Amino acid sequence: MSDVKSVLVVGAGIGGAMAAYTLARAGIKTHCVEIAPKSSAAGTGICLLHNTMRAMRQVELAEPCLEYGQQIDHFRQFDAAGNQISENPTPPGIGIKRPDLAHVLESAAIEAGAKIEYGTTVTELEDLGDRVKVTFSNGDVGEYDVVVGADGGYSKIRHKVFGAEYDAEFVGQSCWRFSAPRLPEHDGFWLFRHKGAGVGAIPTSRDGCYLFILENSDKPLYMQDDKLDVLLKDRLADYSAPLIRLAVEHLTDPKQVLFRPFDARLMPGPWWHKGRVVLMGDAAHAPTPQLTSGGGMAIEDAVVLAECLAAPGTAAQALEAYSNRRIPRVKRVWEASFQISRWEREDPVGNAQKTAALLLDSYKFLGEPM
């Protein structure tokens, strides 16, 4: 029998909500807190690759995602005019809108018995050896067998427990994201290349998709919020591909555009825990976006963490087993994504073939067991 009877999950994003579900489903009393209000679920889209859908099937969540999302099974490259340069089939995954995925995960967690509190976070942690004492921002105090830091790339739990030296750092790229109508023939990850730059597009529903542009810089870029649509249109001016022109036609409000610099962090081994506090998702391994696997790796983390915490043994044994299973796999994916990011920054045209080859090889690796 497992020693772990109660768990606090800090953060209800993709990884946190998934962990709340998998832990509650495993019979563990689960409390999840999220600093943002429930109404704040927002975003463009996300790609759930074949490995992620496998994890979803394992815990009976694939079908709800398929109801909202759109299957993707090709990686295609085009020039700025939309002429196809290359085509590669990929194992089937789906694109889905982030609010739809959030709804699936949060609803499943609550139905499984997890308690989710919004507008609340952790202010103090005290590891007492056999449990963790937690003080919340609303003044409540609780004690748990394990605390899970699932609070994202800028994790306050990671900073509090492991120190500032593990804070995420800027990687030399920023990203523009926005949603647009989907063309009927849009069947996967499409990448439009032009003069060393590129626009990516992934379907998220039967009638929608999201597009993204990566922008290189030595220092983090900060854009004027009320000009985001105008600035993005300037960056798309040289693209005449039908999908991109259709997207530009529907780009009429700066609030449609999300822009942020990329800050990354991979926590080193041998463990992702200290005492009874453990990290998962972007709190443990915030990646660059090139393999579209950040959310997928967090979902895998949640499945594996629940298996380990529910297995017979102590909390320490469970957390060590979790790190042993996750660190080698996540490290390879994180490093491959970072390498592609580096190649894109150094010489995107000269490195285009290497980039595509590593991307496809990584997709193949992701098919291996979690």
Measured between alpha carbons, how far is 57 from 53 in angstroms, rounded to an integer? 6
Residue 231 lies in a domain: no
Residue 303 lies in a domain: yes
Strands 277-279 and 6-10: unpaired
Number of domains, the chain: 1
pLDDT at 262: 93
Residue 361 lies in a domain: no
pLDDT at 101: 95
Residue 246 lies in a domain: no
pTM above 0.85, yes or no: yes
Q: Give the domain CATH number at 13.
A: 3.50.50.60
| Enclosing domain of residue 106 | 6-68+97-169+263-348
The answer to whether the CB of 147 falls within 8 A of the CB of 174 is no
pLDDT at 266: 97
Residue 138 lies in a domain: yes
pLDDT at 34: 97
pLDDT at 42: 60
Residue 151 lies in a domain: yes
pLDDT at 195: 81
Measured between alpha carbons, how far is 170 from 219 in angstroms, rounded to an integer? 8
pLDDT at 352: 84
Measured between alpha carbons, how far is 78 from 92 in angstroms, rounded to an integer? 20
pLDDT at 269: 87
Residue 364 lies in a domain: no
Q: Which long-range contacts (CB under 8 A, 24 or more apart) does 105-109 make?
A: 105/14, 105/17, 105/18, 105/20, 105/21, 105/61, 106/12, 106/17, 108/21, 108/61, 108/64, 109/17, 109/18, 109/20, 109/21, 109/24, 109/30, 109/32
Residue 285 lies in a domain: yes
pLDDT at 217: 93
pLDDT at 41: 55
Q: What is the mean pLDDT of each run of 10 residues along the chain (370 residues)?
A: 95 97 98 86 83 97 95 93 94 93 96 97 96 97 98 97 96 94 94 87 94 93 94 95 96 94 94 97 95 95 98 97 97 96 88 90 92
